[in-house]
Amino acid sequence: MLLRFFRGAGPGEILLIFLTCIGVWMSAFINPHLSASFQYDTNPMPLYGLLKHIIGENALYGVVFSFVLVLMMSFLIVNFNTSHFFINERTFLPAAIYVLLTGLFPHYQLLNPVLPASLFLMIAIRRIMDAYRKSGTAFNFFDASILIGTGSLFYANLVWFEVLVIVGIAILRTGNIKELIISIIGFATPALLTLGIYYAAGKDIFSLPELLNYNLFARTGEYYFSRLAIIGLFLLGLMILVSLIHLLSLINNKKIKSRKTFTELIWALVVSFVVYFALPSASVELIWLAGIPISYILAHYFIFSRKKLFPELFFAALFIIIVLMQIWYLK
């Protein structure tokens, strides 16, 4: 029953998602805090350092800013499916799922570099898929690479998602070396511009590579998983596995563009998992990035599964666990 309230695409669903977002972030508004235990806070990347300077030491301002970014992400997530229509149903459900995922780790509901980076990743994925059936050289990959390169100046581990541009070229084009080259140039452009600004400002230009290396490979602060978080992650992992199997069983029956879009999203999920398990600098903050493909993959299963009881139970259980985590965090 709960799932049905979020499946539509009308004004009522928009209001429901907004109220859900407020509820999911309520603990952050009541108990705002600053974080200094992660390597991206102690030695921030240039754009995140600038953002921290603008926000200042007011924790509530950081929470409000992050909350607004979540609302923006919700709009972009819905708009991507509306424009490309790869789920084959107009629905706000992916946005609702993303909003719920942002409440899975209340400790990260504060100013952090991953949320602004996720905006750049979402727009980059859209630019990649906009290259579908474009004749001649598509500069979409150049744009996507610039977006990922810029996002990495907030959160360094976004650099690994440049793989999605290469995957996009592979699945959408026919071996166009020129597009690969210009995508590499686009990816390097934000870093080169930052080096130019460093030089003009009299700063040590070698400090940027050192900063990048630190943010990519230094060990971040440990995250303590509560029992409730472990249960939530187990449930989410089970939901992802079931949804992926369901999607892969149907993917060959989909239209070419839908199939390629889901392939790109699956790669985004794979990169997220590899980065999390392979790099000491990555922690559960990756949920902001992995949440993008997860939202679409789960929404597809919830909408098209023939056994309606399981999606209802999965969604309701996830909703309840996240509500309980918010209550527990306030204690």
Give the CA distances from residue 99 to residues 23, 53, 96, 192, 221, in Å, rounded to whole numbers and listed in that order.
Answer: 10, 27, 5, 35, 25
The pLDDT, as a whole number, for residue 46 is: 96
Whether the pLDDT of residue 175 is over 80: the answer is no
The pLDDT, as a whole number, for residue 35 is: 67
Q: Is 176 exposed, middle or buried (0-12, 13-18, 19+ CB in 10 A)?
A: middle
The pLDDT, as a whole number, for residue 197 is: 94
Q: Give the mean model confidence (pLDDT) for residues 217-237.
A: 87
Q: Give the mean model confidence (pLDDT) for residues 152-156.
A: 97
Whether the pLDDT of residue 328 is over 90: the answer is no
The pLDDT, as a whole number, for residue 221 is: 74
pLDDT digits (tens, 9 = 90+) for 40-66: 888 999 999 999 999 988 899 999 999
Q: Give the mean model confidence (pLDDT) for residues 242-269.
A: 96
Q: Does residue 111 contact residue 62 with C-beta atoms inside 8 Å?
A: yes
Residue 47: both structure tokens together: 């754009």
Whether the pLDDT of residue 330 is over 60: the answer is yes
Banded pLDDT at 134 (limits 50, 70, 90) = confident
Q: Provide CB contacts within 8 A for 63, sequence distance 6+.
A: 25, 28, 29, 32, 109, 110, 111
Q: Provide CB contacts within 8 A for 57, sequence distance 6+.
A: 34
Give the span between the Cα atoms of 95 and 37, in whole angstroms: 29
Banded pLDDT at 157 (limits 50, 70, 90) = very high
Quick one: which H or E segment has residue 4? helix 2-6
pLDDT digits (tens, 9 = 90+) for 95-124: 999 999 999 988 889 899 999 999 999 999
The pLDDT, as a whole number, for residue 71 is: 96
The pLDDT, as a whole number, for residue 57 is: 83
The pLDDT, as a whole number, for residue 100 is: 95
Whether the pLDDT of residue 253 is over 80: the answer is yes
> pLDDT averaged over the chain?
92
Give the span between the Cα atoms of 8 and 300, in whole angstroms: 13
User: Tokens 């794979």, residue?
Assistant: 270
pLDDT digits (tens, 9 = 90+) for 24-39: 999 889 888 776 567 7
Q: How is the chain split into domains, by residue range?
A: 2-330
